[in-house]
């Protein structure tokens, strides 16, 4: 199923999206107020039975609870995740980004650090800086270099600690698209302090998610998804989720070591190779429209504008 959070009658609603019909099924209306359908987090917390109830309603598709997809405002599918981590799991991106940064400093390309191969590298990003599809993001006034990142995001559906890799995929609820907007000039300066990015990554609306969450069963193989980034309709780059070096099962197992992961958390894959302007030495300008397209999910569209 494709599950979206949208605006209906001035309220935030949870729905099943049918892109063929061009319609959204309002689960709260169809389910006559069942608690599991009050929000995406509530549905995730309801577990397999909640999803089964949603599927039964989607099979019936009651017309009185349907709204057209066109013209309906979609919000981020998970507007306030319980936690938000972003990784760096694509080797091509690590190599390309390292080379570009070194070139700017007049240095030779650096090797990929050995630690990157030994463990999945990630950081915590702001779960309160989430934006949704078709939003306009005002770039922070402290930055002049605007960039995007094309990422696949994994949404957790079950909590756990010390999760074995062999069963880790049972904890995946679904997947969505993540545009990790990045203030590159600020990020480059602050990371000289040898700590993770802060203002280079976290500003209002910088963590863009959408257009919906596709459940794990509908995605199938998460390593067989074509990924493409377009700016103003022009292809800038992209690749395949199959080029992830660190796979989701190993990522979940690693993060959950001596630490509880919670249902409703999001983990970003990091940028697919050539999936950002930094790798291409090509950056966004005022008014640019970024479209991130991932097979079996859809298109996440974002417009960036400079601060007045």
Phi, psi (5° rounding) for residue 253?
Answer: -60, -45
**DSSP assignments along 263-304, one per residue:** TTEEEE--PPTT-BHHHHT--B-TT-EEEEEETTTEEEEEEE
The predicted pLDDT at position 218 comes to 97
Sign of CA dihedral 172, 174, 177, 178: negative
Same domain, residue pair 234 and 298: yes
- Judge if 51 and 97 occupy the same domain: no
**Which mean pLDDT values do the consecutive 10-residue runs of the chain (308 residues) have?**
95 97 97 94 98 97 97 97 98 97 93 97 97 98 97 98 98 98 96 91 98 98 98 98 98 98 98 98 98 98 93
Task: Count how many domains the chain has.
Answer: 2
User: Which domain range does residue 219 map to?
Assistant: 83-305
Do 50 and 94 lie in one domain? The reply is no
**130 plus 183 within the same structural domain:** yes
Specify the pLDDT at position 178: 99
| Pair (46, 153) in one structural domain | no
Residues 69 and 151 in one domain: no
**Residue 52 has which token pair?**
């089964």
CATH number, domain at 275? 3.90.850.10
Going by C-alpha positions, the residue among 39, 52, 31, 50 that lies closest to residue 6 is: 39
Return the half-sphere exposure (C-beta side, CA atoms, 13 A cut-off) of residue 71.
3
- Asked if residue 274 and residue 127 are part of one domain, the reply reads yes
Tokens 């970003």 belong to 268
Instruction: Please give the backbone phi and psi of residue 273, each rounded to the nearest 5 degrees, phi first.
Output: -50, 130
Q: What is the dihedral of CA 190, 230, 242, 211, to 10 degrees?
A: 90
243 and 225 part of one domain: yes
Pick from 75, 101, 130: which residue ends a domain?
75
Question: Among 58, 75, 92, which residue terminates a domain?
Answer: 75
Domain end, chosen from 75, 98, 117, is at: 75
What is the pLDDT, as a whole number, of residue 308? 72
């Amino acid at each position: 199923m494709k599950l979206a959070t949208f605006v209906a009658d001035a309220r935030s609603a949870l729905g099943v999206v049918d892109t063929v019909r061009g319609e959204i099924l309002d689960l709260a209306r169809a389910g006559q107020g069942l608690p599991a359908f009050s929000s995406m987090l509530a549905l995730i917390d309801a577990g397999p039975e909640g999803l089964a109830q949603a599927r039964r309603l989607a099979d019936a598709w009651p017309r009185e609870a349907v709204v057209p997809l066109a013209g309906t405002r979609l919000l981020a599918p998970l507007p306030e995740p319980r936690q938000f981590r972003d990784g760096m799991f694509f080797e091509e991106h690590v190599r390309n980004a390292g080379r570009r940064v070194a070139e700017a400093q007049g240095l030779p390309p650096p090797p990929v650090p050995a630690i990157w191969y030994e463990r999945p590298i990630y950081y915590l990003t702001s779960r309160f800086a989430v934006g949704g599809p078709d939003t306009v993001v005002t770039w922070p006034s402290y930055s002049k270099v605007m960039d995007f990142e094309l990422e696949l995001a994994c949404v957790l559906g079950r909590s756990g600690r010390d999760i074995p890799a062999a069963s880790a995929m049972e904890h995946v609820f679904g997947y969505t698209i993540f545009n990790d907007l990045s203030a590159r000039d600020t990020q480059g300066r602050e990371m000289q302090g040898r700590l993770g990015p802060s203002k280079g990554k976290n500003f209002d609306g910088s963590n863009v998610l959408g257009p919906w969450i596709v459940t794990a069963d509908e995605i199938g193989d998460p390593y067989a998804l074509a990924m493409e980034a377009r700016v103003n309709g022009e292809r800038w780059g992209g690749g395949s989720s199959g080029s992830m070096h660190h796979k989701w099962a190993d990522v979940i197992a690693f993060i959950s070591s001596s630490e509880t992961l919670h249902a409703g958390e999001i983990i970003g894959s990091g940028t697919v190779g050539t999936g950002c302007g930094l790798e291409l030495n090509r950056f966004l300008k005022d008014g640019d429209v970024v479209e991130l397209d991932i097979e079996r999910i859809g298109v996440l569209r974002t417009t960036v504008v400079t601060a007045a």
